[in-house]
Amino acid sequence: MMGPNQPNPASLGGGFIVLAALLAVVWIFLNSTIAIELVLTGVLISAGLAYAFTRKTGVWQDVAVSPARLYHFILYTGRFLVELTRANVNMLRYVYAPRIKIAPGIVKINTRLKTPVGRLALANSIALTPGSLVVDIDGDSLFIHCLDLQTIDTDQATRLIAGPFEEQLEKTFG
C-alpha cells in the first residue's frame, strides 16, 4: 500500500497548490472579509502551512480540482444530505420504538475507490447512512457494523451500503 505517510516528492507541487488554495479559502471563510491585507496574510499563511504539510504527507497530491470534480462533489453533498436525513429518521424509529428490535452484525464490503481521500469520504458517508458504521478498513475491504443485518454477502452488501456514494466519489476523488 502506498502509505499516506510517504509524500511523493515528484508530485509535491500539485498537492501543494491544492492545499494552499483550500486553506486560503478556509481563511477567507473564517474572516468573512476580503480586505486586501487580510487576504494577503491569508495567502502567506496558507502557503506556509501547505508547504509544511505537503512535506509531511502525500495525501493531497491525489486531490485534483476541476470543474467536473467540483460538480460531482456538490452532487455528492446533496446525495449525502438526503442519506443523512434518511439515516436519522431511520434511527429515530429505533430510538423511539417501544422495544428495539435489531439484529446487528459486521459485514465486509469491497470498494473500488483507490485514493485514500476517496476512501475516507466513503467511510465517513457510510458512517452517516442508515444503520451502518465502519469498524475497520483493510486495503480495499471495509468492515461495516450494521444495525439490521440484511445480507452477509460481500457483493450484495457493497451494493447496498456503498452504492449510493461510490460513483460520485469516484468521479470526485478518483
Residues that bind other proteins (CB under 8 A): 4-5, 19, 22-23, 26-32, 35, 37-38, 41, 45-46, 49-50, 53, 56-57, 59-60, 84-85, 87-88, 91-92, 94-96, 100, 102-108, 116-117, 119-120, 123-128, 131-138, 141, 143, 145, 147, 149, 152, 154
Q: Shortest Cβ distance from residue 49 to other proteins (Å)?
A: 5
Min dist CB 31 to other proteins, Å, is 7
* Identity of the residue, 1 or 10, whose beta carbon is nearer to other proteins in the bound complex: 1
Q: Which one, 68 or 91, has the nearer CB to other proteins?
A: 91
Residue number, 5 or 66, with CB nearest to other proteins: 5
Instruction: Please say which residue, 8 or 124, places its beta carbon nearer to other proteins.
Output: 124
Packing angle of the helix pair 116-127, 154-173 (nearest 10 deg): 120
| 52 neighbors 16 (Cβ within 8 angstroms) | no
CB of 65 vs other proteins, minimal distance in Å: 15
Q: How far is the CB of 67 from other proteins (least distance, A)?
A: 20
| Closer CB to other proteins, 67 or 96, in the complex | 96
Closest separation between CB of residue 68 and other proteins, Å?
Answer: 21
Residue position matching grid coordinates 502506498:
2
Q: What is the 3-state secondary structure (H, E, C) of the chain?
A: CCCCCCCCHHHHHHHHHHHHHHHHHHHHHHHCCCCHHHHHHHHHHHHHHHHHHHHHCCHHHHCCCCHHHHHHHHHHHHHHHHHHHHHHHHHHHHHHCCCCCCECEEEEEECCCCCHHHHHHHHHHHHCCCCEEEEEEECCEEEEEECECCCCCHHHHHHHHHHHHHHHHHHHHC
